[in-house]
Structure 1
Amino acid sequence: MNDLDLNTLLGAEDDEGQPRRRTRSSGKRGSNRRRRRRRNRGGFIAPLLAFVVLAGIIGGGGYYGYLWLSDALVPDDYTGQGTGEVVVEIKAGQSASEVAQELERQGVVASARAFTNAIGNANKSASLQPGSYKLRKQMSAAAAVSMLNPDNRLRAKVTIREGLRLSDTLKTLAKETGKPEKEFAEAAKKVRALELPPYAKGNLEGYAFPATYEFQPKTTASQMLAMMVDRFNQTAKSVDLEGGAKALGRTPHEIVIVASIIQAEAGRAEDMPKIARVIYNRMAHKPPMTLSMDSTVMYALGKYGTFATNADLQSKSRYNTYKYQGLPPGPIANPGDHAIEAALNPAKGPWLYFVATDKSGVTKFATTDAEHQALVAECKRNGGCGG
């Protein structure tokens, strides 16, 4: 096939877009070839320029896209340990993301996502413990994670001593927590919120269990007292208070009363089961005997000590166990677990009297009145029993 036939098939056009006529002149044919080569070079440059421009656009967009993506993947975060002070409370059941939002809201971290990333990197997402923590404003997320350590929780550690009366217990709580004593006094009256056992008869005395407690800053007075009652209920369950009381022919409330007297009278834990036996022996004695416990008289008078004077013994209060037979109306203190166990498990013996014969707290026991008087004389020689 010759050039003419090829051009005809290709539909070649001249520069004006019109079909070109072909002649047999070889000179013209060479000229046409040169024009075609020039046209082909021009057609190659234009797409190349377009490609360069397009690559530039894509490249620029990619750069700015990278910046946007980088900003999206790396959340805002502060640097350093921060300044000032802020108290953050983590509530029971809160997730790490909920804590993160609270930290951002209070200005501790720059963004919630910075914190969730930091705690995830530290593998501590599941270690957040409820409580109040003292943090700083504008601190790095990593620094915030390190300060949310359970050992750094704010708390008031309060030890309630065994044998304290309720009034003294409330004073101790107020002093150690910084809350007004009035708040505790009011909370003690609202017994429904404290979940006292039914046999307590709505009286908190004897049921605010003595122990060491840790209270968070936002724990209310009512919540603190409820925690103490809950601790009593746990102890009552562990020693089977109700079952043990039934076995002794007593109510659980009577056992708590006995335990409170034991707690007030005993100088040592090892003497408690014997003191319990003296109480039960006197209540069961024929002819009837009064308990004659100085501690109950002192409770009625708002005094302290285990030796009541003759003037004290004139009290008409039902707590005067010299005057009235049987147990007083209610507990006279908050007994601990040793006293409760002693009340449930009295020692075996015939004793009807006991006397703390010296200031070391050693208690001696007697069966007859003569033996008792000898112990009182010994007590007086040692500077006690009003001697």
Structure 2
Amino acid sequence: MNDLDMDFLLGAEDDDGPPRRRQAGSRSQQRRSRRRRKRQRRKGFAATLFAIVIIVGVLGGAGYFGFTWVRGVVIPKDFTGPGTGEVVVEIKDGATATDVAQMLEEQGVVASARAFVNAIGAAGKSNSLQPGEYTLRKAMSAEAAVALLDPKNRVLNRLTIREGLRLSKIFTELSTATGKPVDDFRKAARADIGLPGYAKGRLEGFAFPATYEVNPKFSAEQILTAMVDRFNQTAEHIDLEGQAKQLGFTPRQVITIASIVQAESGSVQDMPKIARVIYNRLTRNPQMKLEMDSTLMYGLNKYGIAASNADLQSTSPYNTYKRPGLPPGPISNPGDHAIEAALHPADGNWLYFVTTDPARGITKFTDKESEFWKLRDEFNRNHG
């Protein structure tokens, strides 16, 4: 091999050297570059992953709170179970289910008014709430609260029995107040409820009108017994038996007179005068009948202040147009004023009275039959 060939080989080797060194350097740089890119990609991936986690967390939290909010709107807060302790709540007259719900929430009985409204609506009792006091518990479920607000669970219900009501009407009002059937009171009236002997086993006239605290859990007999007890207390206080004897009448007759006075009077002021008319008709002229529309209507089971010709033909023992003397017994349940008037009638010779203006409660009295017919004409003009 000549020198030229050697130079060529050496040159070739020299020429190959630098490129190999550049190539080696380039690969190192490439490796470093690749490592940098990998690190950057890892950092970028980590950042992206972190951002995704943050976004998912935010969206998840928003979703949770959104779900919680929606659930709170759609499914209102409600306690579970029967609750604890005791609280007496009062439903006012005219209160709606919404009014009651708000009151129960404010008193801590139910968790939310909406829960109670939903529960009472589901039970179909939105319109069945009745005024009165009820014993409930704190933190009870709305469903349990609805169950305890049944009218039968009322603690006390103040019931005022007005003067002059017939027994049939009293039974109806007691039934409404307690939820008990009217027939329960009819049966109880025949039981041993403390009637005085002179009542002869008949409650009419002796169910004393007053305000009573009626518990729906009381039996019909207990309620009627309380009313008779009130009558007996009044009779003892005024010495009904002693005063009746002084008048020459029995206690039953006095209460019968009082019941007529109660039914016929347009005002308390007229009661002693009407009582005097009754006594005058019974004692001064034995041939004169009472001729009271109130007794006739009672016997016919009707109401009214003017009897018709057909009414006057009644064969009832309460028809005082046909039968002399007092009717068989009281026609209503008189109050204090009527009983007082029957025991202490006014002084006077009156034999007639006519309520000439029923709208204003004006009653006029006379002892002359001719004047009576004039008063009747005045009544017909005002009543017609």
Letter matched to residue 222 of structure 2 = Q
Letter matched to residue 184 of structure 1 = F
Sort the Cα spacing of 1:82 and 1:356 in 2 relative to 1 into closer, same or farther, 3 A: farther
Q: Which runs of 4+ in 1 moved over 6 A?
A: 85-88
Q: Which moved more, 1:285-294 or 1:316-325?
A: 285-294
Q: 2-side partners of 1:87 and 1:302: how far apart? A: 51
Q: In the TM superposition, what is the alpha-carbon distance from 1:85 to its structure 2 partner?
A: 6.4
Letter matched to residue 293 of structure 2 = D
What's the CA shift string for 1:117-150, capped at 9, x where partnerless? xxxxxxxxxxxxxxx96142789xxxxxxxxxxx
Q: 2-side partners of 1:169 and 1:176: how far apart? A: 11
Partner of 1:175: 176
Partner of 1:96: none
Partner of 1:371: 371
SS at match of 1:319: coil
Q: In the TM superposition, what is the alpha-carbon distance from 1:254 to its structure 2 partner?
A: 0.2
Letter matched to residue 378 of structure 2 = E
Q: 2-side partners of 1:327 and 1:85: how far apart? A: 61
SS at match of 1:330: coil
Alpha carbons 1:82, 1:137 under 8 Å: kept: no
Alpha carbons 1:157, 1:213 under 8 Å: kept: yes
Q: 2-side partners of 1:345 and 1:82: how far apart? A: 64
Superposition TM-score, scaled by structure 1 size: 0.61
Q: In the TM superposition, what is the alpha-carbon distance from 1:196 to its structure 2 partner?
A: 0.2
Letter matched to residue 257 of structure 2 = V
What's the CA shift string for 1:210-232, capped at 9, x where partnerless? 11111123211110000000111
Q: 2-side partners of 1:286 and 1:266: how far apart? A: 22
Sort the Cα spacing of 1:83 and 1:214 in 2 relative to 1 into closer, same or farther, 3 A: farther
Partner of 1:251: 250
Partner of 1:99: none
Q: 2-side partners of 1:85 and 1:364: how far apart? A: 65
Letter matched to residue 361 of structure 1 = G
Sort the Cα spacing of 1:155 and 1:287 in 2 relative to 1 into closer, same or farther, 3 A: closer
Alpha carbons 1:86, 1:134 under 8 Å: kept: no
What's the CA shift string for 1:184-238, capped at 9, x where partnerless? 1111121x2x100010000000000111111123211110000000111111112
Alpha carbons 1:83, 1:136 under 8 Å: kept: no
For structure 2, list consecutive stretches of 5 or more residues without a partner in the other structure: 1-78, 87-132, 141-153
Q: In the TM superposition, what is the alpha-carbon distance from 1:286 to its structure 2 partner?
A: 3.0
Q: 2-side partners of 1:324 and 1:87: how far apart? A: 64
* Equivalences for residues 78-157 of structure 1 within 5 A: 84=82, 134-136=135-137, 154-157=155-158
Q: 2-side partners of 1:266 and 1:321: how far apart? A: 17
For structure 1, list consecutive stretches of 5 or more residues without a partner in the other structure: 1-80, 89-131, 140-152
Alpha carbons 1:187, 1:221 under 8 Å: kept: yes
Partner of 1:306: 305
Q: 1-side partners of 2:201 and 2:286: how far apart? A: 34
| Count of aligned pairs between the two proteins | 250
* Equivalences for residues 288-327 of structure 1 within 5 A: 288-327=287-326
Partner of 1:229: 228
Superposition TM-score, scaled by structure 2 size: 0.61
Sort the Cα spacing of 1:83 and 1:360 in 2 relative to 1 into closer, same or farther, 3 A: farther
Q: In the TM superposition, what is the alpha-carbon distance from 1:155 to its structure 2 partner?
A: 0.6
Partner of 1:166: 167
* Equivalences for residues 17-32 of structure 1 within 5 A: none
Partner of 1:381: 381
Q: 2-side partners of 1:316 and 1:187: how far apart? A: 29
Q: In the TM superposition, what is the alpha-carbon distance from 1:158 to its structure 2 partner?
A: 1.0
Partner of 2:217: 218
SS at match of 1:340: helix
Higher Cα Rg: structure 1 or 2? 2
Letter matched to residue 233 of structure 1 = N
Q: 2-side partners of 1:87 and 1:258: how far apart? A: 53
Q: 1-side partners of 2:263 and 2:307: how far apart? A: 13
SS at match of 1:168: helix
Letter matched to residue 372 of structure 1 = F
1:338 and 2:365 correspond: no
Q: 2-side partners of 1:376 and 1:86: how far apart? A: 68
Q: In the TM superposition, what is the alpha-carbon distance from 1:285 to its structure 2 partner?
A: 2.4
Alpha carbons 2:84, 2:139 under 8 Å: kept: no
Partner of 1:351: 350
Sort the Cα spacing of 1:176 and 1:87 in 2 relative to 1 into closer, same or farther, 3 A: farther
SS at match of 1:312: helix
Letter matched to residue 259 of structure 1 = A
Give % identity. Answer: 59
Sort the Cα spacing of 1:187 and 1:86 in 2 relative to 1 into closer, same or farther, 3 A: farther
Partner of 1:189: 190
